Amino acid sequence: MFNKIMKRGHRKVPKSDGATVDYAYAPTGRSSGPVSTSNVVVNHASRGGAPPVSSQLQQLPATAGMVPLPGTIENLPMFRDVPVAERQSLFLRKLQICYFQFDFLDTLKMVREKEIKRQTLVELVEFIQSGSGKISESNQEEMIRMISLNIFRCLPPASHENTGSENLDPEEEESYLDPSWPHLQLAYELLLRYVVSSDTDTKIAKRYIDHSFVLKLLDLFDSEDMREREYLKTILHRIYGKFMVHRPFIRKAINNIFYRFIYETERHSGIGELLEILGSIINGFALPMKEEHKLFLVRALIPLHKPKTVAIYHQQLSYCITQFVEKDYKLADTVIRGLLKYWPVTNCQKEVLFLGELEEVLEATQAAEFQRCMVPLFRQIARCLNSSHFQVAERALFLWNNEHVVSLIAQNRKVILPIIFEALEKNIQSHWNQAVHGLTVNVRKMFFEMDVELFEECQRQYTEREAKAIKLEEQREQTWQRLSAAAAQEG
């Protein structure tokens, strides 16, 4: 029966059947135009384009990715219903059923065949998960080929490409759900079970899960379907943990995605998921930290604060940054100066996020590093204290609720209080928000109790500056009056 299927697979499929393109080895990415893959040959980098292991598999490129004719796919027996000796052969036949692709936009089309493929994928997942039999090398190769065919595809145009919208709030954006998810999910689940299985020999598996495969997985992180990105995150993390040979390559590839996002597109759906993976990776860095990792912090992570969409992935980014400082406290000065470099000027939402992250970094900062950056840092905090946006001013004042931050400020009060004293006085005199006014009074009282002499000296200097400013304003007014009178006389 299977040979009959394979022979019929060579026939030209009518246009009405909507044959889909074989995306397995086409470049991934968003595309709205047709992709020609008529002469695609499977060529894994690590295997140098070796031919398929059996003559039966030589027919696969002709049928892979094609929509089968109605009635050509038949249910195969369950694994438990065949002798152990025949299970490898049955495994291969089930893989070959999963090579066929379907149009999921039409829910009434080929319903039976779709269900057969879905059920076949479920059985393959269960077979791998049960560990009931070690898969032969040739079957491992064909399984990765089948998974590649199903998951590596051109992603549909992003929502902003269709609508031209600039929606930066992920909560307001409608989530995209891929219609082919019933099959996609199972293909991802099969890959995940294969990677985590104790029966999987990494020396063999790395021939198929190679650099090319990893790059294509990373390309798929731009999918707008959150469910797909979650699977990709888990799988890539497991690959990183199991295949030590791929670790430097994965880090470098993620770097390149970040560089393109920061300096070219500022659009990518999976930055948050990639940062989650990196958070776990950073947590495992050995000390002393390699120069490569420090460069990654300076060149990729800190500049990720620049894009307008930082709010979408800020929680994960902040975690990664804090991990670096907790690993090596000497990096605190570098991180704080980096935050100040990318501090937003007109975006109050970003300012609130930056202040929250700054507090987390200061929590892990030692006195010596704090002293290196405290002058530019508190100049910026003074500007935040006087912000007319009450959330920014309030968040800046909340820094004084943190015991460690207050301890650092108290040790360096002779430098810090003169920088922010004027901002505190202006808030008390003229800030419109009562909550900000009340918090400012509390901070001012805290400084007074820390050092009365210093406080009175700062107050004296502030009064002198105010008096000079008033005198200059009066002189300016008098000058304008004289000029006005002279102009009127001339007229």
Give the per-residue pLDDT at 40: 31
Taking only the tens place, the pLDDT of each residue in 315-369 is 999 999 999 999 999 999 999 999 999 999 999 999 999 999 999 999 999 999 9
Token pair belonging to 327: 């690993």
67 in a structural domain: yes
Please name the helix (run of DSSP H) or strand (run of DSSP E) that holds residue 154, with its range, or none: strand 154-155
Q: What are phi and psi of 154, to 5 degrees?
A: -75, 125
Q: Which helix (H) or strand (E) holds 209?
A: none
User: Structural domain tally of the chain?
Assistant: 1
Q: Return the H-helix or E-strand segment holding 178.
A: none
CA angle in degrees (0–180, nearest 5) for 181-183-184: 60
The structure tokens listed for 333 are: 């000065």
pLDDT of residue 68: 67
Chain position carrying tokens 């943990």: 241
Entry pTM: 0.81
Is residue 35 in a domain?
yes
Cβ proximity of 210 and 46 under 8 Å: yes
Share of the chain residues as helix, strand and coil, in percent rounded to the nearest 5: 70, 0, 30
pLDDT score of 35: 33
The predicted structure's pLDDT at residue 143: 96
Task: Give the Cα-Cα-Cα angle 35, 185, 313 (nearest 5 degrees).
Answer: 85
Residue 22 lies in a domain: yes
The confidence score (pLDDT) of residue 163 equals: 56
The answer to whether position 315 is within a domain reads no
Rg (CA), the chain: 31
Instruction: Assess contact for 213 and 144: CB atoms under 8 A.
Output: yes
Kindly state whether residue 74 falls inside one of the protein's structural domains.
yes
State the residue range of the domain holding 147. 1-156+175-202
Residue 160 to residue 257: CA distance in whole angstroms: 19
* Residue spans of the chain under pLDDT 50: 1-29, 31-62
Residue 238 has, within 13 A of its CA and on its CB side, a CA count of 20
Is 396 within a domain? no
The pLDDT value recorded for residue 107 is 81
Task: Quick: pLDDT tens for 402-427.
Answer: 999 999 999 999 999 999 999 999 99
- Asked if the structure places residue 121 within a domain, the reply is yes
Q: Is 123 within a domain?
A: yes
In the chain, the amino acid numbered 80 is: R
Cis peptide leading into residue 182 (ω within 30°): no
Report strand pairing: 154-155 vs 29-30: parallel
pLDDT reported for residue 64: 63
CA gap 371, 80 in Å, rounded? 69
Cα separation values, 339 from 378, 464, 483, Å: 13, 34, 47
What tokens appear for 320 in the block? 């990664």
Instruction: Report the distance separating Cα 437 and Cα 427, nearest Å.
Output: 6
Measured in degrees and rounded to the nearest 5, phi and psi for residue 29 equal 130, 175
Q: How many Å apart are CA 251 and CA 234, to the nearest integer?
A: 16
